[in-house]
Structure 1
Amino acid sequence: MADVVVLSTSIVRPDRADSEPVKIHLTPWDLFFLRSEYPQRGLLFPKPDPETDIIPQLKSSLSLALTIFYPFAGRLVKTENENDETASFLVNCDGSGVKFIHASAKTVSVNDILKPVNGIVPEFLNRFFPANGVKSCDGESLITFQVTELKDGVFIAFGYNHMVADGSSFWSFFNTWSEICLTGVNRNKNLSPPLLLRGWFLDGIDHPIRIPISETVPPSSSPVVSSSLLQEKVIRFTRKNISELKSKANGEVSSDDRRISSLQAVTAHMWRFIIRNSDLNPEEVVHCKLLMDMRRRLNPPLDKECFGNVVGFATCTTTAGEMVGNGLGWAALEINKTVGLQTDEGFRVFAESWVKEPKIPDHVGVSNSVIVASSPWFNVYGNDFGWGKPIAVRAGPGNTSDGKLIVYPGIEEGNIEIQTCLSSNVLEKLSTDPEFLEYACVV
């Protein structure tokens, strides 16, 4: 068992803050994550030069980055409306700062993470992540960082409030932070360019949105899958694998159909073989849920750099029998069609109906579902704080459930890696399925 020793805990505030704090009202898509645990990600770096004191450098550059991405340094404010037993939420960008933890795990080596026993993501890694079990509704710091120094490396991990930002916005912030730490300035040569906020873009919906107080607290009993029954492995698809899967999927569908993308082909491959190895009855309903960036799908579209949380769920539904009885192209085309249905109109119809009867999901894994999160297009491996680029990326235990697939770019250009959380017996079958492994490998 790895001994993780917390050396210090502090608050890092923006280098400067506006005298009049901006207040960000939350949309239905933000509030959808009210009970969601903080998503957690972490980057493994080589060991810095022993003469380099990295903590002051990380803190000072983080302070500058928070001056640009000021919403992260704010606080979630809950207002209870006694007249109608509802509550409203907003983000007050008051510069209160973010939590920063410095820890040490000198018995852990880089290879303990890169080459774990049987390929299973080690349990000790959970202790390298901050904000374990913290939910969006009760998190004080909208981001928490933990820097853990290892025997021969450094692990920089974070957990963030999904109501404030999605993965696209978070990685933009992280890229800026690492660039400032490396060079002292960001590429714009200006430490405080105006942040392009998503803003409020739903005409006709009053805000702040009022939610019944009963919906803002977790139910007394939530269905929870025992974590002892779940395991995680990282599945790698090489550029060659991906090209072959994409070609195979497109070759199995009519030329009149939409073209299957690389990610759709990879997702379909994962979904098919997870279902095939789950021993489900043919009539059982199965789902594939994809978190999608909706910025460019709105009308008018939002700028792709727009800060905030602008994600939607695309849910593809079929039966285990149909999945097993059809090929890769069929599954990929079902995903493709579902993605194509995510439009501005549907996004807004959901919001308009949701505010009439707000329901906050518990974000516990749904039976017989895979949930695809993150993106292979995030700039993960471009982050260099001054002692080298990352050598691996991992997800923490927050916001994870049976069937969760967290997608990253591979360290080699064109590769895709998927941190896969499944019940131990399904994951073991998947890991030894020769047809699955024809296009994938366990890291």
Structure 2
Amino acid sequence: MDSSSSVKIVSKHFVKPKTIAEESKQPYYLSPWDYAMLSVHYIQKGILFHKPIHYSIDAFLEKLRESLAITLVHFYPLAGRLSTIKTEIPKSFSVFVDCNNSPGARFIYATSDLCVEDIVNPTHVPLIVHSFFDHHRAVNHDGHTMSLLSVQVTELVDGIFIGVSMNHALGDGTSFWNFFNSFSVIFQAQEINKNDDLCLKNPPVLKRYIPEGYGPLFSLPYSHPDEFIRSYESPILKERIFSFSSETIRNLKAKVNQVCGTTSISSFQSLTAVIWRCITRARRLPLEQETSCRLAADNRLRMHPPLHRDYFGNCISALRTAAKAGELLENDIGFAAMKLHQVIAEQTSEKVSQMIDQWLKSPFIYHIDRLFEPMSVMMGSSPRFNKYGCEFGMGKAVTLRSGYAHKFDGKVSAYPGREGGGSIDMEVCLVPEFMDALESDEEFMSLVSF
């Protein structure tokens, strides 16, 4: 890949919902989980396609903008901006979404002289992929002055990359991929029947979760954002996508369950155990040093009563388990797998309620550099999200990529494998020294598909 390659912004537009819902004229309130996200990055995920034959970029962009306007009717908060109410005595800082005083979501068209193979072929993800996303390094609080949603279409020589940046205070991965899938469904329906009044199969449930007896407006004990907003600078990282075939995953799950004398450990828990163990070995930690592993867990169905599967908002916890490096490496894979399984099994409705109560008594804001300990592993995203279902009339995507957001040493994001059938791709971010060691780890590399 030519080091002079770049991404050139050609045009920028704002897109508003095609019709204005009556409810969008009211303030859209945030839940405790949403407030906690104000100082972390936007979610940045995107999909790479081969450019179809007989292709008009102008017609494609126009149809995409139209489809976005219709999608925003269903997801109208994403067309708004954050707004704040402050008081000095007592100190109070409340945030909500104003859907009226906003130009809408941002839509960007960019071009690049790169080819699909320049993105897919390198062993490590090239840094230029970060340029395929808007809102580079933005934190969610920036949604006061920046759009809460941005769609960037980057035209490559032989491909199209659709990168979406969504404010994480508005929703989690489940919400993000519901939006992305709905956007694709509406685009494809537009191609078939020009139906503006499309009914989505899985419409977002926009009614915010507000604990009983509270809200709808919550307040933080601050008078200025500088007191709780911190920027985050990622270290120099190597990022690589490791693929694991459905057969490898099946065999690994069977082996782990046999070792543990159970049938209840999932494929994802089994693979996470391998990654935690092998990254720990790659780091050559002292045997007495503690290392943690966190998994992003969806709480929607864990709550009592449960929230709807398509609840739009944040509803996740980063579940933590820990062990000494020596324990992880001297025991078999079942040791790590069982620790992960237990922490997930213990995430009951009572635990979720405790976390909410804790926030209500003493509101907190997540900061990436404080939330995740050094020398730990954080598993984000999920192979269950229907990421390859987003086709936009171009057929199945070639691959998935992400932006700069939320990347640090030990961050791993799980994607479904392109082949389907239970295959999984893992996007692993490590400092160069540890990535080199992981790529030399026989236990790990014996499971990777090439």
Q: Cα 1:182–1:222, aligned 2, differ >3 Å: closer, same or farther?
A: closer
Q: Cα 1:195–1:362, aligned 2, differ >3 Å: closer, same or farther?
A: closer
In the TM superposition, what whole-angstrom CA distance separates every residue of 1:368-416 from its partner, at most 9, and x where no partner exists?
1111111111111111212222110011111211111111001101210
**What is the aligned partner in structure 1 of residue 245 from structure 2?**
238
Deviation, structure 1 residue 205: 3.2
**What is the aligned partner in structure 2 of residue 416 from structure 1?**
424
**Selected match of 1:347 from 345, 352, 361:** 352
Q: Name the amino acid aligned to 2:346.
A: L
CA distance in 2: counterparts of 1:215 and 1:316, whole angstroms = 35
**Selected match of 1:33 from 34, 37, 56:** 37
**What is the aligned partner in structure 2 of residue 330 from structure 1?**
335
**What is the aligned partner in structure 2 of residue 275 from structure 1?**
280
Deviation, structure 1 residue 218: 6.1
Q: Cα 1:397–1:380, aligned 2, differ >3 Å: closer, same or farther?
A: same
Moved more, 87-96 or 406-415: 87-96
CA contact under 8 A between 2:29 and 2:216: conserved in structure 1? yes
**What is the aligned partner in structure 1 of residue 221 from structure 2?**
212
Q: Identity of aligned pairs, percent?
A: 35
**Selected match of 2:212 from 203, 215, 229:** 203
Residues 179-328 of structure 1 aligned to structure 2 (within 5 Å): 179-184=185-190, 190-191=197-198, 195-213=204-222, 216-217=225-226, 224=233, 226=235, 228=236, 230-255=237-262, 259-328=264-333
CA distance in 1: counterparts of 2:80 and 2:392, whole angstroms = 24
CA distance in 1: counterparts of 2:158 and 2:250, whole angstroms = 35
Moved more, 145-154 or 166-175: 166-175
**What is the aligned partner in structure 1 of residue 109 from structure 2?**
102
**What is the aligned partner in structure 2 of residue 6 from structure 1?**
9
CA distance in 2: counterparts of 1:187 and 1:304, whole angstroms = 29
In the TM superposition, what whole-angstrom CA distance separates every residue of 1:134-156 from its partner, at most 9, and x where no partner exists?
10111221111110000100011
CA distance in 1: counterparts of 2:268 and 2:349, whole angstroms = 22
CA contact under 8 A between 2:119 and 2:126: conserved in structure 1? yes
CA contact under 8 A between 1:252 and 1:330: conserved in structure 2? no
**What is the aligned partner in structure 2 of residue 47 from structure 1?**
51
CA contact under 8 A between 2:70 and 2:196: conserved in structure 1? no
Q: Cα 1:51–1:164, aligned 2, differ >3 Å: closer, same or farther?
A: closer
Are 1:142 and 2:138 an aligned pair? no
Q: Is the partner of 1:418 in helix, strand or coil?
A: strand
Q: Is the partner of 2:226 in helix, strand or coil?
A: coil
CA distance in 1: counterparts of 2:73 and 2:307, whole angstroms = 23
Deviation, structure 1 residue 220: 9.2
Are 1:155 and 2:153 an aligned pair? no
**What is the aligned partner in structure 2 of residue 60 from structure 1?**
66
Q: Is the partner of 2:141 in helix, strand or coil?
A: coil
Where structure 2 has 5 or more consecutive residues not aligned to the other structure, the ranges are none
Q: Name the amino acid aligned to 2:222.
A: I
In the TM superposition, what whole-angstrom CA distance separates every residue of 1:57-80 from its partner, at most 9, and x where no partner exists?
110011001111112112211111
RMSD: 2.2
Q: Cα 1:393–1:225, aligned 2, differ >3 Å: closer, same or farther?
A: closer
CA distance in 1: counterparts of 2:99 and 2:339, whole angstroms = 42
Q: Is the partner of 1:394 in helix, strand or coil?
A: strand
Deviation, structure 1 residue 215: 7.9
Q: Is the partner of 1:134 in helix, strand or coil?
A: coil
Q: Cα 1:235–1:207, aligned 2, differ >3 Å: closer, same or farther?
A: same
Q: Is the partner of 1:383 in helix, strand or coil?
A: coil
Q: Cα 1:137–1:70, aligned 2, differ >3 Å: closer, same or farther?
A: same
Q: Is the partner of 2:271 in helix, strand or coil?
A: helix
Q: Cα 1:287–1:296, aligned 2, differ >3 Å: closer, same or farther?
A: same
CA contact under 8 A between 1:395 and 1:406: conserved in structure 2? no
Deviation, structure 1 residue 280: 0.6
CA distance in 2: counterparts of 1:217 and 1:77, whole angstroms = 16
Q: Name the amino acid aligned to 1:90.
A: F
Q: Name the amino acid aligned to 1:375.
A: S
**Selected match of 2:440 from 424, 432, 435:** 432
Moved more, 375-384 or 259-268: 375-384
CA distance in 2: counterparts of 1:225 and 1:11, whole angstroms = 30
CA distance in 1: counterparts of 2:230 and 2:16, whole angstroms = 37
**What is the aligned partner in structure 1 of residue 88 from structure 2?**
82
**What is the aligned partner in structure 1 of residue 408 from structure 2?**
401
Q: Name the amino acid aligned to 1:424.
A: P
* Alignment TM-score, normalising by the size of structure 1: 0.93
Residues 374-385 of structure 1 aligned to structure 2 (within 5 Å): 374-385=381-392
Deviation, structure 1 residue 82: 2.1
Moved more, 268-277 or 18-27: 18-27
Q: Name the amino acid aligned to 1:333.
A: M
Q: Cα 1:221–1:389, aligned 2, differ >3 Å: closer, same or farther?
A: closer
CA distance in 1: counterparts of 2:218 and 2:228, whole angstroms = 21
Deviation, structure 1 residue 357: 2.0
CA distance in 2: counterparts of 1:303 and 1:76, whole angstroms = 25
Q: Cα 1:154–1:316, aligned 2, differ >3 Å: closer, same or farther?
A: same
Q: Name the amino acid aligned to 1:439.
A: L
CA contact under 8 A between 1:248 and 1:328: conserved in structure 2? no
CA distance in 2: counterparts of 1:322 and 1:333, whole angstroms = 13
**Selected match of 1:370 from 371, 377, 402:** 377
Residues 11-26 of structure 1 aligned to structure 2 (within 5 Å): 11-20=14-23, 21-26=25-30
Q: Name the amino acid aligned to 2:379.
A: V
Q: Name the amino acid aligned to 1:390.
A: A
In the TM superposition, what whole-angstrom CA distance separates every residue of 1:27-80 from its partner, at most 9, and x where no partner exists?
221111110011211100111333352110110011001111112112211111
In the TM superposition, what whole-angstrom CA distance separates every residue of 1:72-130 from its partner, at most 9, and x where no partner exists?
1122111112221220111233374101111000x2000011101xx111011111111
In the TM superposition, what whole-angstrom CA distance separates every residue of 1:3-28 from its partner, at most 9, and x where no partner exists?
21100011011101124524332222
* Alignment TM-score, normalising by the size of structure 2: 0.91
Q: Name the amino acid aligned to 1:296.
A: L
**What is the aligned partner in structure 2 of residue 173 from structure 1?**
179
Q: Cα 1:195–1:239, aligned 2, differ >3 Å: closer, same or farther?
A: closer
Q: Is the partner of 1:151 in helix, strand or coil?
A: coil
Q: Cα 1:222–1:39, aligned 2, differ >3 Å: closer, same or farther?
A: closer
CA contact under 8 A between 2:257 and 2:265: conserved in structure 1? yes
